[in-house]
Amino acid sequence: MQYFVVMIDYGRRGREAVVDPEITRREVVSRVASGEYGNICFIHEISGSAVEDVTADILTQAALPEIAPGEVDLQAASFDHARDLRKHERS
């Protein structure tokens, strides 16, 4: 059996361990990315009798990818802007 334990820190109110054997890794990543799981202390993956700390991996997967400035198509953006200007001139 494989499952994840997500430890959430609520500060003075204490901590909560979220354990649901039916939640997949993809679902944990989705919940971290959406903000449903916040203030995470750690995330452990338990498989059989082995425990692995996967906090860094999950947080990295849940982070939004950064787009380098060089990857933005500035020419396409200027064409879109010119098209929008023409559209507004006609009205």
Q: Which residue has the higher pLDDT, 10 or 68?
A: 10
Q: Can you give the pLDDT at residue 24?
A: 93
- Is 90 exceeded by the pLDDT of residue 5? yes
In whole angstroms, what is the distance from residue 43 CA to residue 37 CA? Answer: 11
Which of 5, 37, 7, 33 shows the shortest CA–CA distance to 21?
Answer: 5
| Pair 73, 85: CB distance under 8 Å | no
The model's pLDDT over 19-77, given as tens digits with 9 standing for 90+, comes to: 999 999 999 999 999 889 988 999 999 999 999 999 999 999 998 665 555 555 666 66
The letter for the amino acid at 50 is A
In whole angstroms, what is the distance from residue 31 CA to residue 18 CA? Answer: 12
